[in-house]
Amino acid sequence: MLLGIALATTAVARNPEFQGADPHAVLIGDELWVFPTGGPGGSWEADRFGAFSSRDLKTWRSRGEALRRDRIRWIGDDGARDHFLWAPGVARRNGKWYLYYSVGPQNPTPSRIGVAVADRPQGPYRDSGRPLVTGGNGFEAIDPMVFVDPRTDKAYLYAGGSAGATLRVWELNPNMVGIAREVKVDQPPMFTEGAFMHERGGIYYLSYSHGRWNGPDYSAHYATAPSPTGPWTYRGAILTSDARHQGPGHHSFVQDTAGDWLIVYHRWESPPADAPLKGERQVAIDRVRYAADGAILPIVMTDGDAAPTMSSR
């Protein structure tokens, strides 16, 4: 989770790529698009989402404003004084783009998840008109991620975590803006928030963040399964703090133009320190490597020119 967003002109960077958090990455044509909470030069007011794209993972282009808080008509229905937009996730289906997002905080009223629809990935997105999921009873409705199973073509919404540390999964209606049913799943070990699902070679990988969002224990872990809904086999941590970076997590997996896998995540540029970590989170991108049995090898965080480009292997 994170507060805010600001739009930016083209920026040139190598790890870290730009200021932001909770990045959802999607390959569109020959460009990698990143939908974060916040963005380069962010003012951190949590009132809008935007997207940023790159052909080489060095030069980033702002794609403008996708959705603003004041265009979500139902957002004030709970009577809470403040509302913040966090953790966007996107999906494509039926010739449309769908933007799923969190409305927080959890208190004094429950957090909620909304969905908006657009004809283009950059938007503008039109909100569906009502919350898709509402938190409560110990469940915090945050960090939505939608995965369309290539084997069945069913779309699943993964969400939840943080204080309640509870993962829930729903099958979506074909229109992508309604719930067909909830799928009961076991709670994966070390789960805190930020679930992400990807499939490779018939193995389903549920990855997620563990620890305090602004602490050095924040890290990425994963479990594997024979289906998008489990049963989970815990496989361990793959992204943890090191001597130069703290609190890496809330990530997404994506294949680049060569078909190689990347992990896009946020981190603090900091030597070891106690929580709360200072400054702003930064989006970084690193290579993912798999063992012969499909296990994800520990991710090595890189800086500057050691970071991957779109064409490197």
For residue 12, the model assigns a pLDDT of 78
For residue 213, the model assigns a pLDDT of 96
- How many other C-beta atoms can be found within 10 angstroms of the C-beta atom of residue 77? 12
For residue 6, the model assigns a pLDDT of 41
Give the span between the Cα atoms of 134 and 140, in whole angstroms. 8
Q: Which residue in this structure is represented by tokens 């990988």?
A: 205
For residue 34, give Cα distances in angstroms to 27, 45, 189, 307: 9, 19, 28, 16
Positions in the chain short of pLDDT 70: 1-10, 40-45, 311-313
Burial state string for 219-229 with b = 16 or more CB within 10 A and e = fewer than 16: bbbbbbbeebb
Q: What is the pTM of this model?
A: 0.95
Residue type, 247: G
For residue 296, the model assigns a pLDDT of 98
For residue 224, give Cα distances in angstroms to 202, 203, 205: 10, 7, 5
For residue 100, give Cα distances in angstroms to 227, 240, 259, 275: 22, 27, 26, 29
DSSP code string of the chain: ----------EE-SSS-EE-EEEEEEEETTEEEEEEES-TT------EEEEEEESSSSEEEEEEEEEEGGG-TTTTTT--S--EEEEEEEEEETTEEEEEEEEE--SSS--EEEEEEESSTT---EE-SS-SEE-BTTB-----EEEE-TTT--EEEEE--TTS---EEEEEPTTSSSEEEEE--PPPTT--EEEEEEEETTEEEEEEEES-TTSTT-EEEEEEESSTT---EEEEEEE---SSEEEEEEEEEEE-TTS-EEEEEEEEE-SS-PSSPPS--EEEEEE--B-TTSPBPPPPP--GGGS--TT--
Residues in a beta bridge with 60: 11
Q: CA nearest 96: which of 75, 124, 71? A: 124
For residue 215, the model assigns a pLDDT of 97
Q: Which two tokens stand for residue 110?
A: 């429950």
- The full set of domains in the chain, from first to last, is 11-306 (2.115.10.20)
For residue 4, the model assigns a pLDDT of 37
For residue 311, the model assigns a pLDDT of 65
